[in-house]
Amino acid sequence: MAEKQLTRADNDDSRIDYGIVFSVLVLAVIGMASIYVAAKHDTSTTSIARAMLMQVVWYVLGTTAVVVIMQFDAEQLWKLAPVVYGVGIVLLLLVLVFYSRAYFASTGAKSWFSIAGLTFQPSEIMKPAYILILGRVVSQHNSEYPVHTANSDWRLLGKMIAWTIPIAVLLKLQNDFGTMLVFFAILGGVILVSGITWKIILPVVSFATVIGGTAIFLVVYGRSILMNFGFKAYQFDRVEAWLNPSASTSGSSYQLWQSMKAIGSGKLLGKGFDVSKVYVPVRESDMIFSVIGENFGFIGGCLLIFIYLLLIFQMIQVTFDTKNEFYAYISTGVIMMILFHVFENIGMSIGLLPLTGIPLPFISQGGSALVGNMIGIGLIMSMRYHNKSYMFSSSKEFH
């Protein structure tokens, strides 16, 4: 009997992907160290102890979320998808009314609740909910239309866009364009693996590229046109700072310019841990990569990117091991969410992309984003933990 119990424990233990756990743990250590440096050398009133304690609290909550989500298998996640999507939409509606006035005054966005001094951004929790519903929609559609045709592919694309529109509208009302881009990245990733023909994807991507290029052109030569579509002055300033960061180093480009100075001053190997001679605004969250670049240089930045690549590789490996279509779409969404966050955050810190206020996963200070990313990790861990190979030959399997 004892031998059987030991075998069962061993089996349960082997179902936990310790590679993913290790990668997230390393990122957490880097994050705690970076936040310590930022808090210690910052001129704000936030104490080092409070900054570190709050990050630990959010990590504990995130880890709890991972453990809970791991208990749900594919069938349960399938049934929960519309429920959590609906809850997310309700939260996005409520934040338009009960938003933090203090955050709105400083950021211009109605994106945060404020409860007893703690802030919470519901759009971060909406991301994994959106990933679940997309996975369900695509899986169900492909089971109903096993043979892809132009007509069925257009229908699938329409379904995915229909589930995305409410989120995009609510984020527009919140004035949170940066977060909206993350949802578009998730949508784009799921579209690519959904089986939709390139005869549809290529024109859609080309059209989106033309729209994006036209928008950048109008920022410089036709702002009045964009203002009629609801664009704000601060958004123009961010694009200008991106296109020409040296034009206003004491104004709209100040944050980006200081970040580039800090990262550049780190050179190849960095100045060493806890050395901060270049002030960067909001470096504990949006600009946390400037701390890593200044302290550990180009080599440190490359090692950080390698850890992210390792984490993503492990996620892909789990997806192939489980051979589950529904899980594959969930995994794609989580990977795109994390990948876009990393790409955008590091890109904006070094001047390759416009500033958007997107945090660096598992490293930046901020509870909502951290918990949202940990929920994504929980979804991936659930795949290995249950490892059931539903082939989704019929969507009735989940009813």
**pLDDT given at position 398:** 55
**pLDDT given at position 390:** 42
Positions in the chain whose pLDDT score sits under 50: 1-10, 388-397, 399
**pLDDT given at position 108:** 76
**pLDDT given at position 357:** 80
**pLDDT given at position 323:** 80
Strand-pair partners of 119: 114
CB 59 within 8 A of CB 377: no
**pLDDT given at position 381:** 92
d(CA 78, CA 239): 40
249-298 tens-digit pLDDT: 767 788 888 999 999 999 999 999 988 889 888 888 889 999 999 999 99
204-242 tens-digit pLDDT: 889 888 887 887 777 767 677 777 766 666 667 777 777
**pLDDT given at position 14:** 66
Of residues 95, 93, 100, 96, the one with CA closest to residue 117: 100
What residue has token string 């909406």?
Answer: 126
Tokens of 41: 């050398």
**pLDDT given at position 44:** 57
Strand-pair partners of 114: 119
CB 293 within 8 A of CB 305: no
Tokens of 15: 């179902």
Residues 6+ positions from 302 with CB-CB distance below 8 Å: none
d(CA 392, CA 334): 20
What is the SS3 assignment for 120? strand
- What are the angstrom distances between the C-alpha of 232 and each of 103, 204, 226? 17, 26, 9
